[in-house]
Structure 1
Amino acid sequence: MRLGAVIVVAAGLITAVPAAGPDEGSSTARAAYEVGVEDVLHVSVWGEPAIDLSVPVRPDGKISLPLVNDIEAAGRTVEEIRQAIAEELARFIREPAVTVVVEQINSFRVYILGEVNSQGVYTFRRPTRLLQALAAAGGLTRFSKQKVIVAREAYGTPQLLEIDCRKLLRGEDMKSNIFLMPGDTVLVN
């Protein structure tokens, strides 16, 4: 078989196999980041130097911009915020080219309580897994039963996730090393 034919066959096999990635429902699949209170956004509009500024997300979840005043930001993705700003600006500017960038993530707070060496509120700058958060809290105390409860609200519904850290720490249940969400409370027994 000639080399060219081998390459064509191999290319066909590669494109026929679906990419291996996380299932949408798995804990490793990541949703688009939702902006939160105290995050800082940089908003710019091409050709409009008056709208090229950094704005904090206020406690009421809104940002203030020239011409459009208040825009709801908390709980929205960057793309949703960009679209909302563009729609409002379209009343004043023809086809506004809006760019929104998250400059600072200040809203990703996780509360870690119980049998850890340093209880408290932890702010993370990127998606964080349970074991990373427990390490940030100084690890489990020697009195810990190595049981963890993660309390969170998902889509308006409270959830309690029970995790056996013994299995997780032995590498027997790595699915339990979940990504934490902003506002999660981690209670270590």
Structure 2
Amino acid sequence: MSRPISSVSSVDHYSPPLRALHWLTVIAIIVVYGVTYLEGLFERGSVGRAYIWWTHISVGLAILGLVALRFAFRIAGPVPPPSAALSRPVHLASAVAHVLLYVLLIVTPLVGIYLAFLRGNEVTFFGLFAIPAPVAVDREAARSVQELHEVLANALVILALLHAFAALVHHFVLKDDVLRRMLPR
């Protein structure tokens, strides 16, 4: 059954590709962050430890790809306007949080790639391709960059958790459409 033209022009949910990319990004963040806690289970130089970092780097690169796809789908549109349930200050806070999330989703993996290069490691994407280190090994700089990468990753996770908490408050307490716009239909 076709919808009247007036309702087609008024988008009230994110498109299926944008919703899928959002939830794939959530899963990727959980994996890329969570897998680092498994490092301690393996000895330095072991195959298991190498696999942990191979996974971490590959999923980090996947996050960059997911963000690029999200931008492409957002540009191609349409995207829904801000929820009518949001006051102007809440909408502004939401917009700032989303911009910060996107910045962290881009900068954190890029800093991680630079860290791998400073350690003299190539960067591989699930074994499909490898990018050799274009910079000289610098272990001292790598320590500083590692600290920055960890701070950015922690900031990303904290902001993502706040984002999720806010969505849950909107859904279960305020009972508005904010979360439903991103849920599968």
Q: State whether TM-score is above 0.5.
A: no
> As a proportion of its length, which structure holds more helix?
2
Greater C-alpha Rg? 1
Q: TM-score range by the shorter chain?
A: under 0.3
The alignment's TM-score, normalised by the length of structure 1, stands at 0.21
The alignment's TM-score, normalised by the length of structure 2, stands at 0.22
